[in-house]
Structure 1
Amino acid sequence: MFINFCSAEMDVEDLDIMTFKAYQLYISEHREINKISVRTYARAVKVFYRWLYFEEYIDIDINRLNLIKANKEVILPLSDNEVKQLLILYDNSSFLSCRNRSIIMLMLDCGLRLGEVVNLMLNDIDFINHYLVINGKGSKQRIVPFGIAVSGQLSVYIDYRKHCITDTNSFFLTQQNKAITHNTIKMLFARIKKKKAFARVYPHLLRHIFATNFVYNGGNLEVLRVLMGHSTINITQIYIHLAAQLHLINDNYSSHLDNLLHDKKESS
């Protein structure tokens, strides 16, 4: 995208801070993407600028390559009732429906990334002790426990899977008995999003829901960091704020004005 933005006549030496600023302005005004995505694109270009600088192709103050400020998007967690409605979408009446229900429940109960679900193998699951061995980012392994409900659901899926003739060790399979791909899960959630009540549901939201509920129920942040596979606790701390939002959604909010007006009616 940056190459297309730069004119064909522009030399490498012409790349300066103004070009960098103009590029961010261009993609923010001419592309249907939010500021967070603009920063992602610009960050890649900034790496390119740094390489050019250290290779002495350009001579600019790279410390002045500032990214535009992103609007912090509020992540609204699903309420308990919405989660229940989501789980109703799929049952165990067929192989595909059971698989889809298993994927959703696993993501909700374990906070897995999309890729971690795709890469889950049969021997990664310990049904006796109720935990998964997850191979996360950077080939880092971690142990993630799961509950009785997920254990029962995965057992039903295993019964279906036993009848599949396949040579893959992948836990989740397609209808053609092949290992699922990233696109399999993306298409699953694309179908879910078509339903009006779940227009804002996407794979990573289920990971947010897991983490938010973990904190909401009094879970320790450091334990959550390990469960999520975060390298630092800085990322994990966002869920303190999300848990507070969930309290407002699920709990009975006490309006001071309602109480005041109610008392006034009773006294009159």
Structure 2
Amino acid sequence: MVLTEARDLFLNDRETYCSDKTVKNYRNNLRYFFDFVSDRLQKDPSQISLEEIEKLDINQYSIYLKNKIRNDNNPNFKAKEPRKISARTRKDYLKDMKCFWMFCIENGYCQVNPSEHLKLPKAYGRMVEPLTVDEVNIIDSCYSINSTYGCRNLAMIHCLLDAGMRPGEVVRLKIQDLHFSEGYFVIHFSKGGKSRIVPMGRTVKKYLQYWLEKRPDCSHEYVFCVENGDPLTGNALKCVIDRLKISSGIIRLFPYLLRHTFGTSFCLGGGNLEILRLYMGHSSIETTQGYLHLADNLRFCNNIYHLDPIFFVKAY
């Protein structure tokens, strides 16, 4: 079997249970490997059989990624100082490649897995400093609650900050997912296709109610929209945060920093780690434990953004 045929079968298999975004990542990450092998063997991937790929090819690909410059295949990208791709990105590329070979072995498309003994690079994440109370006050002051889209932006930002949502979950949030009287969100079709319930604090509730009063008439049920009434997109949300980074002067600001602040603040407030895992939609408690580690390093700091007390009271 040739590489392209095996790739198509692999992607078709993943489409049955992975999100479109995950399948797209598999396709893009495998493309780097296929391009490398094609150059190395001087053949088109449609002419390279699985049996032709050897352990040496895999090792050379790993070395190539170790020295790969970011965006070196984008002629429109101009960097002042060329930087290599991060260890985390390199690890993602290699993990997806190993996953492809495991699929081929499991389905009998080849007899030997050339990537079996490949060691993945260690990717040490850099510490993400959560937002302080003062910084959140600066962020809020960048928008007027009397402005329609100032109201919208405040509501979006506090969905990330006060409910720990992922950017994609904010984009997909629908009006029927907001339960104001009961005081919670229902977040559907999260990462991994799971759904969860998250308490709705007073601040985010206030901004959401203001926004829904000003929200233009739309032909859809999504909470957030752009100026012409179309549903908000992930790129539109990113642009809002990029502009906010400039207007607030908080250069380290990015969408996931708001979610990270939620997780760290929950741990600092004494919240239960398993409950935080459920609120954030993590499939593994190991992911959630990273927030506990960060919170332990920040015990001395009392200026980290505080979550609504609703997260720390008993139900009855």
**Alignment TM-score, normalising by the size of structure 1:** 0.85
Q: Deviations over 1:19-60 (max 9, x none)?
A: 222222222312222110111111111112223434343524
Note if contact 1:79-1:246 (Cα within 8 Å) is conserved in structure 2.
no
Unaligned 5+ segments in structure 2 are 1-31, 71-84, 304-316
Contact 2:98 2:116 in 1 (8 A): no
CA offset digits 1:184-220 (Å, max 9, x no partner): 1111122223357322111111111101000001001
Indicate the SS of the match to 1:143: strand
116-125 vs 231-240, greater mean Cα deviation = 231-240
Is the contact made by 2:142 and 2:248 (CA closer than 8 Å) also made in structure 1? no
Query: Are 2:202 and 1:148 equivalent residues in the alignment?
Result: yes
Q: Greater CA deviation, 104-113 or 226-235?
A: 226-235
2:211 counterpart of 1:157: yes
Deviations along 1:149-171, whole A, 9 cap, x unmatched?
2211111111101xx12111111
Structure 1 window deviating more from structure 2 (148-157 vs 63-72): it is 63-72
Give 3-state SS (helix, strand or coil) of 2:249's partner. helix
Task: State yes or no: 1:187 paired with 2:239.
Answer: yes
Choose which of 148, 153, 159 in structure 2 pairs with 1:100: 153
Partner of 2:105: 53
Conserved? CA contact 1:53–1:60, under 8 Å: yes
Secondary structure of 2:262's aligned partner: helix
Q: 8 Å contact 2:264–2:291 — kept in the other structure?
A: yes
Q: 1:234 aligns with which of 269, 283, 286?
A: 286
Could you tell me how far apart the structure 1 residues matched to 2:186 and 2:180 are?
Answer: 11
- The equivalent residue for 2:33 is 2
- 2:274–2:285 CA contact under 8 A, matched in 1: yes
Look up the SS of the partner of 1:159 in the other structure: helix
Instruction: Give CA-to-partner distance per residue, 1:80-121, whole Å, 9 cap, x none.
Output: 222222222222132111111110112110000111101110
Partner amino acid for 1:112? Answer: M
Change (3 A) 1:58 1:15: farther
1:31 to 52, 55, 69: 69
Deviations 1:59-85 (A, max 9, x none): 246430221122332222222222222
- 1:17 corresponds, among 29, 50, 55, to 55
Secondary structure of 1:247's counterpart equals coil
Residues 60/156 of structure 1: CA separation in 2 closer, same or farther (3 Å cut): closer
Match of 2:310 in 1: none
| RMSD of Structure 2 on Structure 1 (CA) | 2.0
Distance in 2 of aligned mates of 1:17 and 1:155: 59
Does 1:42 find its partner at 2:73? no
**Is the 2:91–2:120 contact (alpha carbons within 8 Å) kept by the matching residues of 1?**
yes
One-letter identity of the residue aligned with 1:5: F
Compare CA radii of gyration and give the structure with the larger one.
1
Give the TM-score normalised by the residue count of structure 2.
0.73
Q: Paired residues, what number?
A: 249
2:117 is aligned to 64
1:158 maps to a residue whose letter is L
Output the amino acid matched with 1:140. Answer: K
Amino acid at match of 2:146: S
| Identity in percent | 33
Mapped contact 1:24–1:68 kept (Cα < 8 A): no
Any stretches of 5+ residues in structure 1 without a counterpart? 252-268
State the alpha-carbon separation in 1 of the partners of residues 152 and 94 from structure 2: 39
User: Counterparts of 1:96 and 1:226 in 2: how far apart (Å)?
Assistant: 31
